[in-house]
Amino acid sequence: MKKSNHLSKETKRKISDKKKGEKHHQWEKPLSEEHKRKISEKMKGVNNHFYGKRHSEETIRKLSAIKKGKLVSEETRQKMSEAKKGEKNNSWKGGEVKINCKVCGKERHVKKSQIKRGHGRLCSYRCSGIWQMLHQRNQNTEIERLIEDELIKRGIPYTKQVALLGITIVDFLLAKDTVIYADGTYWHSSEKRKVRDTNQNFMLTFHGYKVFRFTENEIKKSAKECIDKVLKFIRGKSSKDY
């Protein structure tokens, strides 16, 4: 038969007395009045030289004025202000500088910390997308090469992949105000892209540009006829540009 593991009442009492410290030496001797007084004085700060003393009314007034900033001179305030702005503190890394967006040229204020990290030189996501397109693209499409070959054959000066107005990258810019787009069927056939192209045409025309958009089929059929249309407009406008 298995024996019971229950403790007797006497054993429980002894364990309880031991935990309470009835048999411990510290519990055998209660604290004396002198000991209690020393502990009390130590907690009250008797050893602190200012214990039991009070500030005078004049001192209280000065401390209050300092907290409120009334005793700070105008010169001190100016120095503190300049230090916060970084004008007198060379270690201060804040502040803003004026820069122009690399794509649209818009002037804006940017924090120095952003410039140090290589950010802030483009004013919007749209300009950022245009910048990436300008620098990631390393070769022309087939229809762009056809247009370029025709321009070279005719001796017409041009500039490729030019960002204008911060809204678009034109494939070719002629005579500073004539724009040529070579629109591939794959990228320019969706309704969303057609609306975007129309808006770009409107904005460019509004700012004095003449826009020519040639489809892939038109260019492949005859790049010569496409450039003839451009030259007809340019010669009718001014013959001295070429």
Share of the chain above pLDDT 70, in %: 66
- For residue 16, being part of any structural domain is answered with no
Cα 223 to Cα 216: distance, rounded to the nearest angstrom: 10
DSSP 26-71: HHHSPPPHHHHHHHHHHHHTTTSTTTT----HHHHHHHHHHHHTTT
pLDDT value at residue 71: 58
Residues 107 and 171 grouped into a single domain: no
**Comparing C-alpha atoms, which of 208, 122, 206, 128 is closest to residue 169?**
128
3-class secondary-structure state, position 223: helix
Across the chain, what does the average pLDDT equal?
76
The per-residue pLDDT for 136 is 59
Evaluate whether residue 116 is within a structural domain. Answer: yes
Domain that residue 118 falls in = 94-125
Co-location of 114 and 150 in the same domain: no
Query: What is the token pair recorded at 112?
Result: 């120095």
What does the pLDDT look like over 7-28, one tens digit per residue? 787 887 877 776 665 544 554 5
- Regarding whether 158 and 102 lie in a shared domain, the answer is no
Is residue 226 in some structural domain?
yes
Instruction: Based on the fold, state whether residues 99 and 178 are members of the same structural domain.
Output: no
**pTM value?**
0.46
pLDDT given for residue 242 in this prediction: 44
For residue 68, being part of any structural domain is answered with no
> Which pLDDT band, with edges at 50, 70 and 90, does 43 fall under?
low
pLDDT of residue 241 exceeding 60, the answer is no
Sequence-distant (6+) residues with CB within 8 A of 82 are: 88, 89
Q: How many domains does the chain have?
A: 2
pLDDT at 46 over 60: no
pLDDT of residue 72: 63
Q: What percent of the chain has pLDDT over 90?
A: 21
Q: Residue 217 has which token pair? A: 């089929």
Three-class SS of residue 239?
A: coil
108 in any annotated domain:
yes
- Domain-embedded: residue 174: yes
Give yes or no: residues 160 and 229 share one domain. Answer: yes
Q: Is residue 186 situated within a structural domain?
A: yes
pLDDT tens readout for residues 85-143: 654 444 444 567 777 776 677 777 777 777 666 666 777 766 776 666 665 555 678 88
Q: Give the CATH number, domain containing residue 216.
A: 3.40.960.10
- Write down the pLDDT at residue 208: 92
Is residue 160 domain-shared with residue 212, that is, in the same domain? Answer: yes
Q: Which string of b and e fits 188-224 if b means at least 16 CB within 10 Å?
A: beeeeeeeebeebbebbeeeebbbbbbbbebbeeebe
Q: What is the pLDDT of residue 1?
A: 47
DSSP letter for each residue of 203-217: HHHHTT-EEEEEEHH
Instruction: Name the band, by pLDDT with cuts 50, 70 and 90, for residue 207.
Output: very high
